[in-house]
Structure 1
Amino acid sequence: MKVIFAGTPEFAAVALQSLHEAGFEIPLVLTQPDRPAGRGMQLQPSAVKQYAVSKGIEVLQPLSLRMDSKDPQRAEEAKAAHARLLATPYDVMVVAAYGLILPRSTLDIKPCLNIHGSLLPRWRGAAPIHRAIEAGDTETGITIMEMEEGLDTGPMLLIERVAIENSDTTGSLHDKLAALGGKMIVDALNKMKAGQLQATVQPEEGVNYASKISKEEAALDFSQPAVEISRKIRAFNPFPGAHGTVNGVNIKLWGAEVLDGGNAQAGKVLSADAQHGIVVACGTGSLRLTQLQKPGGKRLPAAEFIKGFPLEGLSFS
């Protein structure tokens, strides 16, 4: 089978590598344009582009695939991309975290399969891994689905489940799901080739939308229950990084344990020493902060952090 692949971040690059190593012919890869990144804000290629270039696979980076865009440049790039797709012999398009909307004109060329990082229809949308952890879900998984114009509404082809451990962050869960997605898309295409892939319509109940994560969400409100704050810390690790403010200094919080008790004012640092660790009162219960980072510094265990940033008697806001 000839596969055109569309994706951008590391999650997608893992799937692309799996397809390539499984022997599928990949004549073309679509990915988003290079973006400024790092301290120097130099243009950086996506993880998908880096892998494709390393394997000599042609890469196309249109700003849009919508030929009816009101932006002349985007419309022209979309027309060129559409013409390139029509001129490229392929059997199926595989999409994973591409970041651009596929219009009907693209979906109508050949079948399009999507690797989605949740158990549909539980979390449709841009940030299913973050939202599953934030909501306290005990499991998630990968759904291989047929793409249609709706947002993650297409029929489901394959589903596999993964437990969400209490220690999982978005980073660790991402890696588990990326590996699973790579394995599953290879299985799905092999079954498609053999005529063994069956579609199941998504149920209408249980639909939630995993909206894109904003940096503003990462500012913690310590009047919330400790268990909810702990989930946010895990959900926003590694991006955008949950944080609280102490004496006007923005402190990022990368790890925490939920404790009972803590009837003091929410945000009050109850202890900050080597014996008890950094314990902060919350709306309900309290948190023992285990890993913190001050501006310009490194992530540090709590015992190391308080050596350079005493917190005894202070409050988070």
Structure 2
Amino acid sequence: MKKIIFMGTPAYATCILKALLENENFNIVALFTQPDKTVGRKQILTPSHTKAFLSNHSSCIPIFTPKSLKDEATIKQISEFKPDFIVVAAYGKILPKAILDIAPCINLHASLLPKYRGASPIQSAILNGDKKSGVCTMLMEEGLDTGAILESVECDIKDKNSSEVFEILANLAAKLIISTLLNFENLIPKKQDENLATLCTKIKKEDGMITLSSAREIYQKYLAFTPWPNVFLANGLKFLELELVDENEIFNQEGEILELEKESFLLSCKQGILRIKKLQESGKKVLDGRTYLNGKRLKVGDYLH
């Protein structure tokens, strides 16, 4: 039975951790995850998804939440477990060389590397309108997602939002890590082509702000930024549910209400048309499109600003 230290933080990582716990070939000896964070308006101290899951699942596996992995005591702690593998999935910290040297460190990255190295591979693939994405296992080195690829699997992501793609890739990653660990001795690591490498950064709240210029661009942002940070106008009005109706038609002015429907309305962009199904003003409740317009006494030919 192979001894594994698991390092991961969000729900994506929990799905992979669960698969390893359920497999009789592996023994999870420790979980390393991000420290508890304050969440929401009441700033409630909340554990990471993996910590909350493991706390309910097993009381015998130790959980560590170091602020830094460069601390000598933490490195010694990891070394003393004598792991056969260190498995990393969306942990949120860079592993120093001292830890990389302890055991083979295998990362599960939610893109088809070398495309979308970094913090937001799923959102970046959706933003760019990619029809395919995937997940791969890679041998970690000191660079950010630069290690050799062990195995990969791809899937269709067309018209899927960020949370849907996260779930698909998490389930694929859970199967892939089992395959990679069981076949590790026979796998030939494949070096990444640096000429094809792209880098993506962490998503910020302000990335969700839109102007009504391109319906296609707004639609891809809507898919990428659901459930967070959503898409919203400069005045804070969020579009929580929308559809792309047309991406080619050109209008003299954006923001015109073109047609009223039972629970939604059609809205012009400079290029293209959107169907707005649900929206929300800052600090107010979610409304369907038609109810919102009725409350604002807006009709066909008026403008949404």
TM-score, shorter chain, exceeding 0.5: yes
Q: Indicate which of 48, 62, 78 corresponds to 1:58.
A: 62
Task: Give unmatched runs, 5+ long, in structure 2.
Answer: none
- 2:277 counterpart SS class: strand
1:189 equivalent in structure 2: 181
- With structure 2 as the length reference, what TM-score do the two structures score? 0.92
* Range 200-209 or range 154-163, more displaced: 200-209
CA change 1:80–1:298 in 2 (3 A) is farther
Q: Number of residues paired by the alignment?
A: 298
8 A contact 1:237–1:254 mirrored in 2: no
Mapping for residues 1-317 of structure 1, pairs under 5 Å: 1-23=2-24, 24-54=26-56, 55-56=58-59, 57-66=61-70, 78-166=71-159, 168-192=160-184, 195-223=185-213, 225-245=214-234, 248-259=235-246, 260-271=248-259, 273-274=260-261, 277-312=264-299, 313-316=302-305
8 A contact 1:234–1:255 mirrored in 2: no
CA shift, 1:197, in A, is: 2.0
8 A contact 1:230–1:258 mirrored in 2: no
8 A contact 1:257–1:289 mirrored in 2: no
- 1:80 counterpart SS class: helix
Aligned residue type for 1:190? L
CA change 1:133–1:299 in 2 (3 A) is farther
- 1:150 counterpart SS class: coil
CA shift, 1:308, in A, is: 4.1
1:71 equivalent in structure 2: none
Q: Deviations over 1:184-210 (max 9, x none)?
A: 101111112xx2222111122321111
CA change 1:299–1:201 in 2 (3 A) is farther
Aligned residue type for 2:98? S
- 1:129 counterpart SS class: helix
Q: Distance in 1 between matches of 2:220 and 2:84?
A: 42
User: How large is the Cα RMSD of the aligned pairs?
Assistant: 1.8
Q: Distance in 1 between matches of 2:11 and 2:32?
A: 14
1:73 equivalent in structure 2: none
Q: Deviations over 1:53-109 (max 9, x none)?
A: 22122001001112xxxxxxxxxxx22211111111210000000001111111111
* Range 256-265 or range 202-211, more displaced: 256-265
8 A contact 1:278–1:289 mirrored in 2: yes
8 A contact 1:241–1:254 mirrored in 2: no
Q: Distance in 1 between matches of 2:74 and 2:296?
A: 53
- With structure 1 as the length reference, what TM-score do the two structures score? 0.88
User: Identity of paired residues, percent?
Assistant: 36
- 2:30 counterpart SS class: strand
8 A contact 1:267–1:280 mirrored in 2: yes
- 1:48 counterpart SS class: helix
Aligned residue type for 2:93? L
Aligned residue type for 1:58? P
